[in-house]
Structure 1
Amino acid sequence: MNDMNNIIFWIFAVVMGTILVRYIVGIYNNIIFLKNNCEKAFANIDVLLKKQADLMPQLTVIAEGAMTHEKQLISELLQSREHYLSTKQLDMKVDSANQFHSHLKPVFLLAEKYPKLISQQALLALQASAKGIEDQIADRREFFNQTVTLYNTNIRLFPNLIFTILFRFNDIPLLYGQRGRETLS
């Protein structure tokens, strides 16, 4: 009888151990799946942000002559562009993209202060291109932010929080859009 109890105990222990291991692996894999979805969603935006960043040197060339008093603003825009392009980590890249967009809006609003600049066909084409890219980014930003919110919520729930601490999963920041875009139209 004692041998039978030992066998039943070990079978039960192996079954419970297997269930526990599968549960733990499932939680970890779910977190990784959500994180990868965030990275994929941002990669779709990243392509457009790089296109947008590539427009900035053209804007600088067009605007330099007419906006001699605004060199600091243009310099800040170019610095935020360089910072964005050189950043590799997702959370830092999102923060950098948010900073880049905060510098972009005032530059286009400057065109209203400089009628000579507005009349330049090249600037109008550049503005239209930047607005088109921004609209595409806005479409993808919503999906990215939903994915990030799901991931951030998931890593804060128990028992997932244990894995968050053990494997140092971090929150991913949301991507904010260019505020006041309607004045660019």
Structure 2
Amino acid sequence: MNFIKKNGLVVGLVAVLALVIVAFFGLGNGIAKQENNVDEAYANIDTQLQRRNDLIPNLVEVVKGYANHEDKIFEEIANAQNAMKQASTVSETATANSQLTSAYRAMVALQVSYPDIKADKQFIQLSDEIAGTENRIAVARTRYNKVVKTYNTKISMFPSSIVASMKGADKAEYFTADESAKNAPKVNFETDDSDK
């Protein structure tokens, strides 16, 4: 009888240990899946940002045809596009995206000063494509932040937090807009009295 109790205890311990190992790997796989979801969602943002980055130089050329002396705006766009290319983290990408959005909005606002721009068919087509891409960027950013929230919650809650800590999993960054991007560019409709 004593032998049966010892064997039962050993079998029970082995069963508990096996359960712990299975749970450990299950949690680890769940964290890995969430990490992959974050990477995929970020790649979707990156794809849309690249699409916009590819369209903007064409729009710049159209606008330059009408407003070639607006060098400051064109330089800001070029600098922002370079920052986008060099960005290696989520926060760097978000900051560069905000800079490019501000510069792009300032360029589009030139149509107030140069009315012929908004009548240009190529300008209209490119503007529409960029506007559609901006919408896709917003959707991708929202999806990314939602996936990041799920991942960050998973690695923060017990018992997943133990496994996450052992794997060295860190919280993912949210893709947030820079403060300057939250303000629309100011367009001045007043005419200069010196021109009269």
State whether TM-score is above 0.5. Answer: yes
1:52, CA displacement in angstroms? 0.7
Letter in 2 for 1:37: N
- Seen in structure 2, the aligned counterparts of structure 1 residues 96 and 28 have a Cα distance that, compared at 3 Å, is farther
Corresponding position: 1:174 with 2:170 = no
TM-score (norm 1): 0.77
Matched position secondary structure for 2:17: helix
Corresponding position: 1:74 with 2:58 = no
1:129, CA displacement in angstroms? 1.4
- Seen in structure 2, the aligned counterparts of structure 1 residues 174 and 10 have a Cα distance that, compared at 3 Å, is same
- Seen in structure 2, the aligned counterparts of structure 1 residues 96 and 36 have a Cα distance that, compared at 3 Å, is farther
Take 1:162 and 1:32, find their aligned partners in 2: how far apart are those partners?
A: 14
Q: Which runs of 5+ in 2 are unaligned?
A: 185-196
**Partner in structure 2 of residue 25 of structure 1:** 25
8 Å CA contact 2:63, 2:117 repeated in 1: yes
Alignment of 1:40-51 (within 5 A): 40-51=40-51
- Seen in structure 2, the aligned counterparts of structure 1 residues 92 and 6 have a Cα distance that, compared at 3 Å, is farther
Single out whichever of 93-102 and 103-112 deviates more from structure 2. Answer: 93-102
Pairwise CA RMSD: 3.1
The Cα offsets for residues 84-138 of structure 1, whole Å up to 9 and x where unpaired, read as 2344555654554444334433332233333343343322222111112222333
Q: Which has the larger radius of gyration?
A: 2
Letter in 2 for 1:33: K
Q: Percent of counterpart pairs with the same letter?
A: 23
TM-score (norm 2): 0.73
- Seen in structure 2, the aligned counterparts of structure 1 residues 168 and 121 have a Cα distance that, compared at 3 Å, is same
Take 1:161 and 1:117, find their aligned partners in 2: how far apart are those partners?
A: 56
Corresponding position: 1:59 with 2:84 = no
1:11, CA displacement in angstroms? 1.3
Q: How many residues align?
A: 181
1:67, CA displacement in angstroms? 5.1
Take 2:150 and 2:98, find their aligned partners in 1: how far apart are those partners?
A: 20
Alignment of 1:5-20 (within 5 A): 5-20=5-20
- Seen in structure 2, the aligned counterparts of structure 1 residues 25 and 95 have a Cα distance that, compared at 3 Å, is farther
Letter in 1 for 2:138: A
